[in-house]
Amino acid sequence: MWKFIVRRLLITSPQIIFLSLLVFVLASFMPGDALTGAIGPDVKAERLAELREELGFNDPWYIQYKDWVAGILQGSLGESFQYKMDVEDLIWQRVINTFWLSLVSVIFIYAIGLPLGILSGRYNDTLLDQLITGYTYIGFATPIFIFGLVALWIFGYILGWFPTGGSVDPGVESGSIEYILSKLQHLLLPGLSIALIGTVSTVQYLRSEIIDTKQKDFILTARAKGASERRVYNRHIFRNSILPIAAFFGYEIINLINGTIFIEQIFSYPGMGQLFLDSIVIRDYTVVTALVLLTGIGAIVGALLSDIILSLVDPRIRIK
The minimum distance between CB 147 and other proteins, in angstroms, equals: 9
Candidate segments 37-45, 79-87, 136-144, 166-174, binder of other proteins by CB under 8 A? 136-144
Taking the CB of residue 17, how many other CB atoms lie within 10 A of it? 11
The minimum distance between CB 314 and other proteins, in angstroms, equals: 18
Q: Are 317 and 4 in contact (CB under 8 A)?
A: yes
Alpha carbon 277 to its chain's center: 16
Q: Which is nearer to other proteins, 113 or 250 (CB)?
A: 250
> Judged by CB under 8 A, does residue 26 bind other proteins?
yes
> Judged by CB under 8 A, does residue 288 bind other proteins?
yes
- Amino acid letter for position 215: Q
Residues making up the chain, counted from first to last:
320
Taking the CB of residue 222, how many other CB atoms lie within 10 A of it? 17
Taking the CB of residue 135, how many other CB atoms lie within 10 A of it? 17
Q: Are 136 and 205 in contact (CB under 8 A)?
A: no
Taking the alpha carbons of 277, 283, 289, 290 in that order, is the dihedral positive or negative? negative
The minimum distance between CB 212 and other proteins, in angstroms, equals: 14
The minimum distance between CB 280 and other proteins, in angstroms, equals: 6
> Judged by CB under 8 A, does residue 254 bind other proteins?
yes
The minimum distance between CB 153 and other proteins, in angstroms, equals: 6
> Judged by CB under 8 A, does residue 263 bind other proteins?
no
Contacts of 31 (CB under 8 A, 6+ apart): 283, 285
> Judged by CB under 8 A, does residue 224 bind other proteins?
no
Residue numbers of the site for other proteins (CB under 8 A)? 11, 14-15, 18-19, 22, 26, 29-31, 138, 140-146, 149-150, 152-153, 157-158, 164-165, 254, 257-258, 261-262, 265-266, 276-277, 280-281, 288, 291-292, 295-296, 299-300, 302-303
